[in-house]
Amino acid sequence: MRSYKGYVKDQPGFRLLYENYVMSLGHLYEEAYCYNKLTKEEIGIWQFQHDPTCGVVSKNNDWCLVGGEILILRTFFDRTVRPIGDLQDIHEIRLIDENTAQILIDPWSENAAVWQLDLVMNRAAPAFSLWKIKDFKDYPDKPYAENVNW
Q: Give the CATH number of the domain where residue 34 resides.
A: 2.130.10.10
Domain hosting residue 20, numbered range: 8-135
Per the domain annotation, does 61 fall within a domain? yes
pLDDT recorded at residue 140? 87
Per the domain annotation, does 141 fall within a domain? no
Per the domain annotation, does 94 fall within a domain? yes
Per the domain annotation, does 3 fall within a domain? no
Per the domain annotation, does 28 fall within a domain? yes
Query: How high is the mean pLDDT of the chain?
Result: 94
pTM, entire model:
0.92
DSSP 104-135: EE-TTSTT-EEEEEEEE--SSS-EEEEEEEEE
List strand residue ranges (DSSP E) for the chain, in order.
14-19, 23-28, 31-36, 41-47, 54-57, 63-67, 71-75, 80-83, 90-97, 100-105, 113-120, 127-135
Mean pLDDT of 97-104: 97
Mean pLDDT of 29-55: 97
Per the domain annotation, does 14 fall within a domain? yes
Per the domain annotation, does 16 fall within a domain? yes
Per the domain annotation, does 149 fall within a domain? no
Question: At residue 145, does pLDDT exceed 90?
Answer: no
Q: How many domains does the chain have?
A: 1
